Amino acid sequence: MFEPGGSRQQPEIKVEEIINKIGAGIGRVAQRFGGGGMKIIGLGAILLLTLLWLGTGVYTVGPRERAALQLFGAFQTIQGPGLHWYFPGPIGKKTIVDVMNTRSMELGFFTTATGTVTDQSEEALMITGDLNIVNVQMVVQYKIGDLEKYLFRVDDPGETLRDVQPGLPDGRTLKDATEASLRQVVGQRSIDDILVTRREEVESDTSIKLQEILDEYEAGLQILNVALQTVRPPDEVRAAFDDVVNARVDKESRINEANAYEQDRLPKAQGEARVIIQGAEAFKAEKVAIATGEADRFDSVLEEYNKSKEVTRQRLYLEAMEEILPGVRKFVLTEDANGNLLQFLPLTDDADVKVVEP
């Protein structure tokens, strides 16, 4: 609900009434002392009256307040907290306002003093960027940012519904600027952005636009916060929109479930992949080592073969026969035996190697 007020003016002294009372008193005294005493009493009365009048210029400004000073109706300066003196009325005028007070204004609805909420459809119904109609209710929180501009730059007609008196920008100026800002932001976005996905962006953009308009008007108001309240489609199509919202919620739920499944399965799959990769690398290293060893062995055999071809050929032949005929007792006959089988060379492990001479 809008919170009007927040300013107070120092009471003005009714000089004419005081003069009349003092004049009556002087008349009664003059009847006693005659004409000479009349002059002295008159001067004393004038001096006393002047001191009393000057004394009414003393005023105090609280820690949260500021005082706007006027001289013959023209604005002079802003006075901060403390005890001060300024020309009393009707020469000077002091308007003391609580500039730290956070005020609020409701758009699209109105809360009465008893707490009853009344919708204001003419303020709340707006057209979105995708040509849908949406009911938007919002609360604006603000405070006085520039007291001079707040008091003297805007002549507001006031607003009867929210009990705002004419003269200050808290009335129609603020309400119309807020409504214009919100309609512009809503008209640039889809209904989904306003209902669900980008409410914070709508609030931020509305606050920025509203502050720009108020600064252009020199209203002296500082926007503190813009908060969307109830945002809904019109009652005629609310059921259809509720179905869309429910479907969107289901979609988000399925997406979250899929993401959770992914987070569960992906590490396991990555671990299994690493195991397979490590096994393949080990197999590769083993095969490369074997192939390298066989190649080195071949090179060494080739080197020996080049040195003594017959001996190497005979050794390779014997090694091949031993590999081809495992577990068979084998005898090697030399050429010197001349066909005599009694001279032989046993090659098995279970017999001593002997060369039999004929």
pLDDT tens-place values along the chain, 358 residues long: 444 445 555 555 555 666 666 666 656 655 665 555 567 766 777 888 888 888 888 889 999 999 999 999 899 999 999 999 999 888 999 999 999 999 999 999 988 888 888 888 888 999 999 888 899 999 999 999 999 999 999 989 988 888 888 888 999 999 999 999 999 999 999 888 888 778 899 999 999 999 999 999 999 999 999 999 988 887 777 777 778 778 878 898 999 999 999 888 899 898 899 999 999 999 999 999 999 988 888 888 777 777 777 777 777 788 888 888 777 776 666 666 565 555 555 555 554 444 444 4
- Exposed (0-12), middle (13-18) or buried (19+): which is 199, by Cβ within 10 Å? middle
pLDDT of residue 242: 77
Return the HEC string of 25-58: HHHHHHHHHHHHHHHHHHHHHHHHHHHHHHHCCE
Would you say 101 and 4 are in contact if contact means Cβ atoms under 8 Å apart?
no
pLDDT of residue 37: 59
CA separation for the pair 17, 266 (Å, rounded): 92
The single-letter code of the amino acid at 82 is G
Would you say 124 and 229 are in contact if contact means Cβ atoms under 8 Å apart?
no
pLDDT of residue 9: 54
Structure tokens at 315: 């050794």
Question: Domain residue spans in the chain?
Answer: 7-98, 103-233, 244-307, 315-346
Closest CA to 190 of 108, 133, 247: 133
pLDDT of residue 353: 46
Residue with tokens 């002997």: 354
pLDDT of residue 358: 41
The overall longest dimension of the chain from CA atoms, in Å, is 188
Topology of the domain comprising 103-233: Tetrahydropterin Synthase; Chain A (3.30.479)
